Structure 1
Amino acid sequence: MRIDPAILRDQLTAARYTSDAVVDRIGEDGQAGLGRNCTVPSDVALAGATDPQAALIRLFILQQAVPREQVAAAVDVEALLGAGFLKGDGGALRAVVDIRPYGSPDDGATGWVVADPTPGLDHTMSPIRPDYVLGVSPASTTLAQLTMRTPVGAALDLGTGCGVQSLHLSRHAERVVATDVNERALDLAQVTAALGGVAVDYRNGSLYEPVAGERFDLIVSNPPFVMSPPSDEADTLTYREANFEGDALVETLIRGAAEHLNPGGSLQLLTNWAVTDQPWEERLTEWIPRGCDAWVIERERLDVFSYIEMWLADAGLAGTGRWRAAYDEWLGYFERLGVRSIGMGWVLVTRAERAEPHRRFESWPHAVAQPVGEVFARHRAALDASQLPTAELLASKPRLVDVEQETLGRPGAEDPEHVVFRQRVGLLRAVKADTALAAALGALDGDLTVGQVIAAVAQVLDLDAAELAAALVPEIRQALLDQMLRLG
């Protein structure tokens, strides 16, 4: 590292080149424009300003050539030129890498993320270098939001890229190891960590190779899962693809998880998988290691055409003469592998070591309330509660949490036809309840046992208590698993 991160951090802070300050400067329109890869709204917001903050926004975020004297008023130009982070452009300077402020109100992970400049900015398309290092993306943000923030001893950021996940992991892990097959990614991630003042053990290598024989309490990864046709090493975009056939890379990660997890430890992935003629749940079940629980949520399903077009555009091939030939190559590849569509979603694998591992697969394309990390963090306790022996369940005192109650019925009717309980947080699940279930759920406030509530509801509705219990206990188990009800 040719720069002094402490000095650069002080300079960036003094220039108010921080997450909140930059957002305030470019405004909501500027933020939205950058989300569309358009710099114009941010440029308009700066209104020709030349102060240090404006110069850094133009230099790194808007990718503009900025007069050398303006940049020099903010940072040590010679140090950044020597590090290869800047290059000369006449009397001006351009950024070779993107140093971008980062802030997370959820867990306080703040700093600056160092990566390659955003491709396709202002609709300029060009091929991406094979060792390209992606910055903070919607995918990396989603992974950060679904990651469990329970304090742990050791965490692994597998395929660290620009290093943003390690910023988050360092907030709740005593030790963080980060790996990547891309040496350039490791170089830039080290600067990300240094600017953020966090300690990370960086290692080069593929998948679990750099951590052979080691175990962790938490492994997180947004692996290079794109199922592109295998290509020459020089043409492989390492940030998104790894020359494994189909989804074999994801399969390898999941199958090997147990060997690198401490008892009770978990692997969390944001990834995709092939959907073939075999039901996807059956196919992925085969990957889960023995003794491990698994919860897989399919968030989106793409047809092969949409998937191919998305990733060809991401590679900078849109509008080029290589587009159709590459498209046909992908189609032939998917046909050979029997890929009918692509599932995209979240994977949680936990080394629970139960006598009967629990496997849950579901499609949930609906809106959620991010961050959902707490949902995953509570999953094991929710599962334990839902599997209590019936006598213990009836003696337990769960309570309804973070749920709104709605009524459904015909206009003018004296009584509602159904009551809907809807979560306000997490996955925003809803359950439509009949009179008996609605009465039972509404009465479970942590003071009465399940058995007492069922008995009271049976008395009020003039029903047989044993028959009502047989009907309601499965519903209560599901409500515990879905975290509408919670023990403790």
Structure 2
Amino acid sequence: MTSSTTPAEASASDTPGPDTPVSEWPDLLRALAQDLAAVGYTVDAVARLLGPEAHAALSRDQPVPALVTTRTAGEDPVREPLGAVVRFFLLAQPLQAAALDAVLPGIRSDGLVALGLAEETHDGAGLAASVDLRPYAWDAGDGEIGIWVASDLAAHQRAGVLRTDHVLGIGHASATLVQTTARRPVERALDLGTGCGIQTFHLLGHARHVVATDISDRALAFTRFNLLLNAAALGIDPAHPEDRFELRKGSLLDPVAGETFDLVVSNPPFVITPRTEGESPDGQFTYRDGGLPGDELVARLAAGIGGVLAEGGTAQMLGNWEVRRGHAWHERVRSWVPEGIDAWVLEREEVGPGQYAETWLADASQQRDPRAYHDAYAAYLADFAARDTAAIGFGAIWLRRPAAGQARLDRFEQLTHPLEQPIGPHWLAAVERADWLAAHPDLGAERLVVAEDVTEERHQRPGAEHPGVILLRQGAGFRRTNLMSTELAGFVSACDGELTAGQIASALAALLERDDDGFRKGLLADAANLVADGFLGPHDGATRNREKSA
């Protein structure tokens, strides 16, 4: 759809939806993109403008240093146009219409109003941003992709408690899912619970077509605006956007019932929230609260998502789960996974009920009402106590409907130390190693090599003849540490691709005078675990090279 309507005509003839940006004016979207590019509104340029301290503070939702740094731009935006744009869209500082016209001459102030991005201040003295519009960029392998992303103004940009249908911007959880996703070329992908669209932006780089769903009309409106504003960068034809993406409204898997996808990603509203009798969905924060008791929403999604996976298809999602008193953290999560579906779950963090309540009450600025904060905090504690919940875990869930010849994975691990980011390529490499092991059951016939990021540490008491502790450490990827026996350390040191694993095991058995078959089998089983974890790899280097290039 194209239009020759002027911004003034657009403002009069096309009223924005329920406080969301308007995406029906391609000429205005094009003008806005050109103006933002011309002023240099990029991630790197904003970081240079603000400087390290102010930029870091803003990432913590503390705008004061950035306000001080850009004060001149507020006084004279013509001399510092980038600073004026930063103050307007990132710091939510009003500007005169004439100042906006000067720094954004293509879209101008009336065009911003027409697109629902600006509105008159209460005193009528200028215009204020009605959305947060910020630059965002990522490395696509063959170069960086830079776009602009609109979302609702956050708590540090506006007064009061967030609206319940708040559309979140690029937050910690969404960035975590971006980094965690194991990316590969696919035909069809699903972004379940799209929010402002961040997962869809990335999926379009390796999926021919993306379906994005959300229960919120406002979220879908923001996503559509962001996709069409950045059509050129995302490979979308504005005249035929349906060729690349489709937006659907609905809860969980309802909008895609009966369909299958090669890849599903989801940052669902997983926050565990106390339920109250007679509560209305209008009182729930839709960006984080799925409206179900406890961790039931994540449980339902984990149990049902395999039904929309094509053969060999994978799903990756974030979630919270309750850890019952006296039970291991993974017991409950494992019970969600249906028969025939592979699972690999990483728990990255565990917190107590009190800390969990504090985190999410602060997230929506609910501490600004002391009485309501007290009542809500108490409700959290009572809710967790009713289910005997000792802790709440957070992490990433990977699921697969395995195809013929692929490994069967049932792996639940707690890794709370820092991982290399993005971890997605390393996760993909790990799954490929598991499939390689399934296709090569006789590891003794294979030649293995040590991964390039692996180092060995030996610790021994002063004067001791042999080390008491031998550790194998990864410097990349999952950054695991493996405690080694002397025999296994000797095996690894001989893995240079010259001898087969069976030959090395047999040589060690002879050297140590352990000629029983059990010793050899045990050593090869330990070696298989090292391959699965990425300490060792096949000599052909296919998996190693993929992980190295990550």
Q: Select the residue among 303, 317, 335 that pairs with 1:255.
A: 303
2:410 is aligned with 1:359? yes
Q: Give the share of equivalent positions with the same residue, in percent.
A: 37
1:428 maps to 479
- In structure 2, do the counterparts of structure 1 residues 200 and 446 end up closer, same or farther at CA, with 3 Å as the change threshold? farther
Residue ranges of structure 1 left out of the alignment (5+ in a row):
none
2:215 is aligned with 1:167? no
The answer on whether the counterparts of 1:110 and 1:167 sit within 8 Å (CA) in structure 2 is no
Q: Which amino acid aligns with 1:405?
A: E
C-alpha separation between the residues in 2 aligned to 1:412 and 1:100? 61
Q: Select the residue among 152, 155, 169 that pairs with 2:186.
A: 152
- In structure 2, do the counterparts of structure 1 residues 186 and 465 end up closer, same or farther at CA, with 3 Å as the change threshold? same
The answer on whether the counterparts of 2:63 and 2:156 sit within 8 Å (CA) in structure 1 is no
C-alpha separation between the residues in 2 aligned to 1:6 and 1:445? 56
C-alpha separation between the residues in 2 aligned to 1:243 and 1:17? 38
1:217 maps to 262
**Higher mean displacement: 420-429 or 330-339:** 330-339
Count of residues paired in the alignment: 485
Q: Select the residue among 192, 204, 208 that pairs with 2:249.
A: 204
Q: Where do residues 61-100 of structure 1 align in structure 2 (5 Å cutoff)?
A: 61-75=90-104, 76=107, 77-89=109-121, 90-100=124-134
C-alpha separation between the residues in 1 aligned to 2:267 and 2:432? 25
1:195 maps to 229
Q: Where do residues 26-175 of structure 1 align in structure 2 (5 Å cutoff)?
A: 26-49=50-73, 50=77, 51-75=80-104, 76=107, 77-89=109-121, 90-105=124-139, 107=141, 108-121=144-157, 126-175=160-209
Alpha-carbon RMSD across the aligned residues, in angstroms, is: 2.1
Following TM superposition, by how much is the alpha carbon of 1:20 offset from its aligned partner in structure 2, in angstroms?
Answer: 1.7
Q: Select the residue among 322, 339, 356 that pairs with 1:274.
A: 322
Following TM superposition, by how much is the alpha carbon of 1:460 offset from its aligned partner in structure 2, in angstroms?
Answer: 4.4
Q: Which amino acid aligns with 1:80?
A: L
C-alpha separation between the residues in 1 aligned to 2:466 and 2:128? 68
* SS at structure 2 position matched to 1:486: strand
Q: Deviations over 1:238-259 (max 9, x none)?
A: 0000211111111111111121
C-alpha separation between the residues in 2 aligned to 1:446 and 1:28? 46
Q: Select the residue among 444, 447, 450 that pairs with 1:400.
A: 450
The answer on whether the counterparts of 2:154 and 2:162 sit within 8 Å (CA) in structure 1 is no
1:295 maps to 344
Following TM superposition, by how much is the alpha carbon of 1:83 offset from its aligned partner in structure 2, in angstroms?
Answer: 2.1
- In structure 2, do the counterparts of structure 1 residues 174 and 236 end up closer, same or farther at CA, with 3 Å as the change threshold? same
2:283 maps to 235
C-alpha separation between the residues in 2 aligned to 1:290 and 1:354? 16
1:324 maps to 374
Following TM superposition, by how much is the alpha carbon of 1:134 offset from its aligned partner in structure 2, in angstroms?
Answer: 0.4
The answer on whether the counterparts of 2:70 and 2:84 sit within 8 Å (CA) in structure 1 is no
Following TM superposition, by how much is the alpha carbon of 1:393 offset from its aligned partner in structure 2, in angstroms?
Answer: 0.8
1:473 maps to 524
The answer on whether the counterparts of 1:156 and 1:219 sit within 8 Å (CA) in structure 2 is yes
* SS at structure 2 position matched to 1:16: coil
* SS at structure 1 position matched to 2:488: helix
The answer on whether the counterparts of 1:2 and 1:82 sit within 8 Å (CA) in structure 2 is no
**Higher mean displacement: 270-279 or 452-461:** 452-461
1:308 maps to 357
* SS at structure 1 position matched to 2:92: coil
The answer on whether the counterparts of 1:398 and 1:485 sit within 8 Å (CA) in structure 2 is yes
Q: Which amino acid aligns with 2:496?
A: D
The answer on whether the counterparts of 1:387 and 1:477 sit within 8 Å (CA) in structure 2 is no
Following TM superposition, by how much is the alpha carbon of 1:125 offset from its aligned partner in structure 2, in angstroms?
Answer: 6.1
Q: Which amino acid aligns with 1:432?
A: L
Q: Which amino acid aligns with 1:27?
A: G
TM-score, length-scaled by structure 1: 0.94
* SS at structure 2 position matched to 1:126: coil
C-alpha separation between the residues in 1 aligned to 2:24 and 2:126? 22
- In structure 2, do the counterparts of structure 1 residues 131 and 395 end up closer, same or farther at CA, with 3 Å as the change threshold? same
The answer on whether the counterparts of 2:502 and 2:524 sit within 8 Å (CA) in structure 1 is no
* SS at structure 2 position matched to 1:130: coil
Q: Which amino acid aligns with 1:312?
A: L
C-alpha separation between the residues in 2 aligned to 1:423 and 1:304? 33
**Higher mean displacement: 376-385 or 178-187:** 376-385
C-alpha separation between the residues in 2 aligned to 1:339 and 1:425? 35
The answer on whether the counterparts of 2:140 and 2:205 sit within 8 Å (CA) in structure 1 is no
* SS at structure 1 position matched to 2:496: coil
